[in-house]
Amino acid sequence: MQPPEIRVLSVIPPMTQLNTPYPSSAYLTGFLRSRGIDAVQEDLALALVLDLFSGDGLQRIRAVIETIPERKRSQQVAGFMAQFDRYAATIAPAVAFLQGRDPTIAHRICGRNFLPEGARFESLEVYIDPDGGDPLAWAFGSLGMQDRARHLATLYLNDLADVLRDAVDPRFEFVRYAESLAQSQPTFDPLAHALAAAPTLVDDTLRTLTLAAIERHQPTLVLLSVPFPGSVYGAFRIAQAIKAHNHAIVTVLGGGFANTELRELSEPRVFDYFDYVTLDAGERPLLALIDHLKGGRSQQRLVRTYLRDAQTQAVRYVNFVEPDIAFAEVGTPTWDGLPLDRYLSILDMLNPMHRLWSDGRWNKLTVAHGCYWKKCSFCDVSLDYISRYDGASAATLVERIDAIVAETGQSGFHFVDEAAPPKSLKALAQALVDQNRSISWWGNIRFEKSFTPELCQLLAQSGCIAVSGGLEVASDRLLNLMKKGVSVDQVARVTNAFTEAGILVHAYLMYGFPTQTVQDTVDALEYVRQLFEAGCIQSGFFHRFSCTVHSPVGQNPEAFGVQLVPLPPVSFAKNDIGFIDPTGVDHDVLGKALNKALYNYMHGIGLDEDVRSWFSTRVPRTRVPRHFVSNALR
């Protein structure tokens, strides 16, 4: 008897990114094809947005709004209805412009009398008049116009998203779609209630797109890789539609959300939608599962896989131990089948580093699996995606880069490592230079001393345009507690070396770390001020510290001077965990001041002011010497 034919469809569920495909399906499809398995892929996140934000989509949104009494419509919804004809006439040109298919419409968009303008336009940035003294405006005015138009068109899309959220689906977001239903939810109940509710227009649209993809590809196995809590609800709706259409199609849930939050899964209802849930790197579990589906192995020999027992209906975790596929052997990701010319380059934040995440279609590639440092106490260092470090040779990486450029026609790369290893970057950069490759790339690093001025110059020569790295709390005491492996003066020298090489530097910053005092926070902001003043960094963002159960802080809180808040019984998602810090600092109030100061620093404002002026409450004077960073650079 012939084993059944397996045809795999990998799906990107709503919502991930609008400007470029999330790379999980590209990696899985490339790997499966390298093993001779029939594999295809679909981006239903992009398809959903393009369907809703179209002429027909706006007509369907209006039909829903017409069922809502006028007195119950928000101001944004009322404005949409009043200007509906203009929205219907402009949606296709605006989307085509953001896709790069109609750049000349920028002139009309910048005229501010073409696109209807809702509430999002009230917070417009103040643009510099191109005729206001810039001697190069005559040469670069067209470039400035394109960026300005992209920002305006993005505000226009955000206005429409607000209308959709107010009138159609209160959970809708371009990125964090229905995130609260899944993020660290101990039980499946909130998600189950949402999935049992009457479908919204968004749900119905996603169902139609799902069934069209099933009809197009005729898969026997569908993989839904879910990177974030904000794509869980969409993934379950897709699986729900598939199972209602053809229960024989096998559905599998995996990706970053499962790897992080579903490690104690015991909820049987998950398996009404998914036949299997796999953990960590997907290559080995998928090979085992496909072998099982073809009759080559029993369920007892599956790898890192949850399933529901047919007799008891209880959830079982099966992990027949087999070595993972070496990173050098996972193959080259492929974007074949994804509509690369239909992604939207949006520009919602004018920060030069933030725009790299949302503007332009970057090929996402990993230099190495895992993190070579894997010591930071706030990080999920106990999980596979951090703890299992495995690299590939520069020759292998260049081969992958060449193949991707040939396939996509795009030479821009985002290296998506947790922290790209400097030795690997050096070898790769030298190979790119020696082989005369012309690409541009950016990625995340650690600000460690290995990044000498000479290495930074080599990276720039190879095509590096930007780096991001964790300065975190900008306090040597707390950096030591974090086991970050860097010091503030070292960060100053490394970031300066990148800047001198012409590479944009973005600093990840953190507040609210265990035992962080008000004094620590004020001192950290002074370090940051001096780094901006010296030109060492050009961009940054303050994140509030969040304790996770997989981090050293979550696993050994006593070592960090905090007490964890007990969690309720968990049968579904488990990740974030509350803690009690004896310092009692109100970090929420401090956070507002930090982000206000940082926003101004990025625009060159307030760099000569006392950092205390940003705080709404009385805070102590900084203890950081006035010329700390300049002295470190000398």
CATH of 7-45+179-328, one of 3.40.50.280, 3.40.1160.10, 3.10.20.30, 3.30.1540.20: 3.40.50.280
Largest Cα–Cα distance in the chain?
80
Of 78, 54, 408, nearest to 209 by C-alpha is: 54
Give CA–CA dist 258/579, Å, rounded.
23
For residue 89, what are its two tokens?
């006439």
Q: For residue 79, is pLDDT > 70?
A: yes
Residues whose CB is less than 8 angstroms from the CB of residue 324 and which lie 6 or more positions away in sequence, other chains included: 280, 281, 283, 284, 388, 390
- Domain(s) of CATH 3.40.50.280: residues in the chain: 7-45+179-328
pLDDT > 60? residue 358:
yes
DSSP secondary structure of 42-85: EEHHHHHHHHHSSHHHHHHHHHHHTTS-GGGS-HHHHHHHHTHH
Q: How large is the average pLDDT for residues 201-209?
A: 98
Can you tell me the mean pLDDT for 195-217?
A: 98
Name residue, tokens 């495909």: 21
Per-residue confidence band for 216, with pLDDT thresholds at 50, 70 and 90: very high
Beta-strand pair 250-254/276-278? parallel
Under the banding of pLDDT at 50, 70 and 90, the label for residue 355 is confident
- Give the tokens for residue 269: 């209802």
Alpha helices by DSSP H, 323-470: 354-358, 384-387, 394-408, 422-434, 453-462
Q: Is the pLDDT of residue 188 over 60?
A: yes
Q: Give the pLDDT confidence score for residue 2 in this predicted structure.
A: 63
Of 410, 407, 527, the residue nearest 478 (C-alpha): 527
DSSP label at residue 315: E
How far is Cα 297 from Cα 291, in angstroms, rounded to an integer? Answer: 6
Mean pLDDT of the chain: 93
For 256, 367, 484, the CA distances from 22, given in Å and listed in that order, are 12, 16, 28
Q: With CA atoms as reference, report the closest residue to 223 among 245, 202, 249.
A: 249
pLDDT band at 101 (very low <50, low <70, confident <90, very high): very high
Q: What is the C-alpha separation between 468 and 107, in angstroms, rounded?
A: 34
Structure tokens at 174: 């371009």
DSSP secondary structure code for residue 186 in this structure: S
Report helix, strand or coil for 39.
strand
Structure tokens that stand for 108 in this block: 């009309």
pLDDT given for residue 1 in this prediction:
58
In terms of pLDDT, which residue wins out, 45 or 177? 45
Helices 453-462, 422-434: axis angle to 10 degrees equals 50
Of the listed ranges 340-354, 411-425, 530-544, the least confidently predicted one is 340-354
Residue pair 593/615 in contact (Cβ under 8 Å)? The answer is: yes
CATH of domain 350-633: 3.80.30.20
Tokens representing residue 386 in the block: 């951090």
Instruction: Give the tokens for residue 148.
Output: 């300005």
Residue 55 C-alpha from the chain's centroid: 29
Domain ranges in the chain with CATH number 3.80.30.20: 350-633
> Which pLDDT value is given to residue 145?
85
Task: Compute CA distances 10 → 75, 210, 327, 328, whole Å.
Answer: 40, 12, 20, 22
Q: Are 58 and 64 spatial neighbours (Cβ–Cβ below 8 Å)?
A: no
Residue 53 in tokens: 């934000």
Q: If DSSP codes are grouped into helix, strand and coil, which group holds residue 371?
A: coil
13 vs 604, residue with greater confidence: 13
Contact 222, 251 (CB under 8 A): yes
**Measured between alpha carbons, how far is 444 from 466 in angstroms, rounded to an integer?**
9
Say which residue, 470 or 131, is predicted with more confidence. 470
Q: How confident is the model at residue 143 (pLDDT cuts 50, 70, 90)?
A: low
pLDDT at position 128, please?
42
Mean pLDDT within 164-176 = 93
Q: According to the model, what pLDDT value does residue 55 have?
A: 98
Q: Are 385 and 259 in contact (CB under 8 A)?
A: yes
**C-beta of residue 229 within 8 angstroms of C-beta of residue 182:** yes
Place of tokens 């749900």: 203
Instruction: Tell me the Cα Rg of the chain.
Output: 25
Does residue 136 have a pLDDT over 50?
no
Rounded distance between C-alpha atoms, residue 326 and residue 336, angstroms:
23
Residue 137's pLDDT is what? Answer: 38
The sign of the torsion formed by the CA atoms of 560, 565, 570, 576 equals negative
- Beta partners for 540? 507
Amino acid at 176: R
* Residue 138 in this model has a pLDDT that exceeds 50: no
Write down the pLDDT at residue 175.
82
Task: State the sign of the Cα–Cα–Cα–Cα dihedral 600, 603, 609, 610.
Answer: positive
At 163 the pLDDT is 97
- What are the phi and psi torsion angles at 494 (to 5°)? -70, -45
- The confidence score (pLDDT) of residue 148 equals 85
Q: Where are the beta strands (DSSP E) in 473-516?
A: 504-511
- Confidence band (pLDDT; 50, 70, 90) for 473? confident
Sheet arrangement for strand 221-225? 38-43, 7-12, 221-225, 250-254, 276-278, 305-308, 315-318
Segment 431-454 shows an average pLDDT of 97
pLDDT of residue 350: 67
Question: What does the pLDDT average to over 57-72?
Answer: 97
Which of 551, 583, 233, 33 shows the shortest CA–CA distance to 10?
Answer: 33
Nearest residue to 471 (alpha-carbon basis) of 526, 397, 400:
526
Return the amino acid letter for 195: L
Query: Tokens 């939207």 belong to which residue?
Result: 344
Q: Which has the minimum average pLDDT: 35-39, 114-118, 144-148, 622-626?
A: 144-148
What 3-state class would DSSP assign to 7?
A: strand
**How large is the average pLDDT for residues 216-234?**
97
Q: Work out whether strand 7-12 and strand 38-43 pair parallel, antiparallel, or are unpaired.
A: parallel
User: Tokens for 109?
Assistant: 């968009």
Q: What is the pLDDT of residue 533?
A: 96
* Dihedral angle sign, alpha carbons of residues 109, 111, 114, 117: positive
User: Cα-flanking dihedrals φ and ψ of residue 163, to 5°?
Assistant: -60, -45
Q: What is the spatial distance between Cα 373 and Cα 368, in angstroms, rounded to a whole number? A: 12
Closest CA to 315 of 355, 275, 371: 275
Report d(CA 161, CA 167) in Å as an integer.
10
Dihedral sign of CA atoms 327, 331, 332, 333 in order: negative
